[in-house]
Structures are given as C-alpha cells and as structure tokens.
Amino acid sequence: MLMMITMMVVQAAAGEGRTYEYKSMQSERRNLLANGLANTPQMGWNSWNHFYCNINETMIRETADALVSTGLAKLGYKYVNIDDCWAELNRDQKGNLVPKKTTFPSGIKALSDYVHNKALKLGIYSDAGSLTCSKTMPGSLGHEEQDAKTFASWGIDYLKYDNCNNNEIKPTVRYPIMTKALMNAGRPIFFSLCEWGDMHPALWGSTVGNSWRTTNDIKDNFDSMMQIADMNEYYAEYARPGGWNDPDMLEVGNGGMTKDEYIIHFSIWAISKAPLIIGCDVRDISKETLNILGNREVIAVNQDRLGVQAKKVRTEGDFEVWAGSLSRYRVVVLLVSRGPEPGPITAHWDDIGLPPNTTVVARDLWLHKTSSQRFAGKLTATVASHTCKMFILKPVA
C-alpha cells in the first residue's frame, strides 16, 4: 500500500494527466480478479517437491486417498495439485492441451471426478510462456482463453502458473491475460501466480491472482528455507484475505531438515499466512511428519480470519521474534533460534503490538499447553539452537 501511495505522489508531481491515467489503470486492474476465493491461505498438496516429473494418475489418486485417510483433508488440505509434466509436448489439431497418454491415460476429467467425489479439489499447472519449465509440455502463452476453458471443462479448481520460457515479456503483461481468461472460463479457479518474485508481485498480485510467489524455489534445507522466509517477510503488508504472499511449497517430510527445523518451517509458514501446500509423499507419511502438518492449533493461526501476516519484530544476532495479530485481540508470537546457540528470547509487548499493561495467558502451540503463569509486559522463553517456541497470547482482564 505504501508503495502505491508513493507512486501516486510521484505521478501527481508529474502532472494531473498522468495521475488520471494511473488511477484508471488501477481501477481496471481492480476488476480483473473477483473469484471470491482465498479468504484464508490455500491448503493442499502439490507433486513437485517430492516427485518432480515422476507423476501419473495412479499416484495422484492414491494421494487423494491418503489425504483423506490420514485426516489431513479434514484439517483443510483440500487442493490436490498436479505440477509440471502432465501433458503431451504437442497440442492436438485444434490446439488443445492433451494429457500425457502414458501417465494420464484416463484424462484429467476422470481425475477431477475422482478427487471431487472425495470432497477434494483438483489443481493443475501451466506456464506463462511457450513451454513449461520442464520443456516437456506447452505453456499457455498465446493460448490463455483456450486453456482456461479446457481447465474449466475438466473441472479444474486451481491453476499454478509458472514463468519459464517467457520470451522476456514482463509478468505484469502475461499474467493478467490468464486472469481474464480464468474469469471468463465459467468456473471459479484459484489463481496461483508463480513468477518467483521477479517483479515484486506483492505490489500488483492482489488484482491478478489469489497468491503470488515472492521468492525463488525452496530447497529442502534449513538455510534455503530461512532465506525464503526472510524474503517473504519483507512483503508482509501486502497479504490480505483474497491474496497471499507465497514463499513456495512445504518441504516438511522430505528428509532434508531435522524435525525441529521442519517445525520452524511449518510455524513460519503458518504465521506468515503462507499457502500450506504439502510437498512430501502423503501415501508414505511418517507419524512425525503427520504431527507437524496436522497440528491444528498451528493451522488455525494460518487460517485465522483476520488474515494478518506476521512480521519479524526483533532480531538480536541469531535470535528472532516474529509476531502478528489474530482475531479476538490475540497475538501470535514465534521465538526462533536460527544459529548454533541456545538462548533466552524475549517478546516485549511494545514489539509485538500489545498495550504495555496488558496481562496475558500464553498457549504453547507445539506443547499444547496453556501457562498457569500470567505474563505482563514481556514473555521470555529458552529456545534451543535450530528450534522455536510458538505462543498465542490472550489478554485476560
């Protein structure tokens, strides 16, 4: 918002004509996306982080089954999202996308019927370029209307739209074309922009998509995950119901981090109102992974109706305090030790937005325990290296 206001001032200084032009561009943009989706950050699963191109209709169906049998679907993980590599390299004679015959022989419509029968939703992937990133299938550039109609006819509920092989046309030009196409397709389709943060999509994404990637791809290690969390935090002001910052999909359960590091990963994604898109093999999920991804108190933070993305409010060396407002005057706080040392970490009320004389009870969202002690002015906890503590602070009279 700040950036937009600054732009207005700059434009106004440049003359009234340009101010008018800018305003009308804004109102045109405002009309692009009105699909009523993303009131809270999207939750689901995507094939890429674990399977890359090794996908087929059998494992997509089995994943839908597993989301239900593990209870994850009930917790809100509704979108089953197919990533890159699902189509033939060549379109048919009418220019339609064709599901890959060897791996999706029954077609995508059959898959969406299957998934819908389980009260889940089906997501698909395309690219705002001539080919997708794998280069094994076409992108939608120049075919936006046709592809959006194809997706709608198949019963698709979600589109992740990548940025490879884009002929160096700006994302701000290419992405809105698909927004319009989806709005004309006759079915509400969640639009997930994936232009990797190239052109600061937080500044324009809310009028074009329901979420926008703010960063390059996540890797399954602690440094990558924290670096991406930092980049995403920068845009916190821009997240709101209807459109969310997307620091990429979850790596929880893929094996590259410790249990405690995955807990930090999931906690930061939840507090940041990031999409919670599982990236592991749900068909073969461990108890430990399920306990992280299935923590309903942490999920409730992510899905809180206020829709405020937490910010990093204090950094002292490797010790960080993240905090954000929740509905009903509550505040969620995350204390993170990201370096090699343990430390006492303190959340001060004036850092986290509580009035100085507020007394609170603290609910530990990972221990599932409410403090018998009350806290006034600050809360201090001991946090071991590469671990975190996550609390909801609730004012008491």
Nearer to ligand NAG, 56 or 166 (CB): 56
- The answer to whether 162 is a known catalytic residue is yes
Nearer to ligand NAG, 241 or 395 (CB): 395
CB contact at 8 A, 301 and 392: yes
Nearer to ligand NAG, 27 or 357 (CB): 357
Q: Does 51 interact with ligand NAG (rule: CB under 6 A)?
A: yes
Distances (CA, A) of 268 to 13, 197, 242: 40, 19, 20
Nearer to ligand NAG, 228 or 280 (CB): 280
Q: Single out the residue of 59, 164, 231, 300 in contact with ligand NAG (rule: CB under 6 A).
A: 59
The two three-digit tokens of residue 182, written as one number: 């989806």
Tell me the backbone φ, ψ of residue 271, rounded to 5 degrees.
Answer: -70, -25
The torsion of the CA quartet 231, 26, 140, 121, rounded to 10 degrees, works out to 70
Catalytic residue selected from 157, 162, 248, 304: 162
Stretch that binds ligand NAG, among 56-64, 124-132, 190-198, 318-326 (CB under 6 A): 56-64
Q: Decide: residue 313, CB within 10 A, 0-12 exposed, 13-18 middle, 19+ buried.
A: middle
Q: What is the pattern of x (binds ligand NAG, CB under 6 A) and - over residues 340-369?
A: -----------------x------------
239: helix, coil or strand? Answer: coil
Nearest alpha carbon to residue 169 among 213, 129, 222, 134? 129
* Count of residues in contact with ligand NAG, rule CB under 6 A: 6
- The identity of residue 187, as a single letter, is R
Q: How far is the CB of 59 from ligand NAG (least distance, A)?
A: 4
CB contact at 8 A, 197 and 213: yes
Q: Single out the residue of 54, 184, 291, 370 in contact with ligand NAG (rule: CB under 6 A).
A: 54
The residue to which tokens 């220019």 are assigned: 95
How many Å apart are CA 44 and CA 38, to the nearest integer? 13
Q: Does 90 interact with ligand NAG (rule: CB under 6 A)?
A: no
Backbone Cα Rg of the chain: 22
- The answer to whether 220 is a known catalytic residue is no
Q: Does 46 interact with ligand NAG (rule: CB under 6 A)?
A: no
Nearer to ligand NAG, 281 or 320 (CB): 281
**Site for ligand NAG, rule CB under 6 A:** 51, 54, 56, 58-59, 357
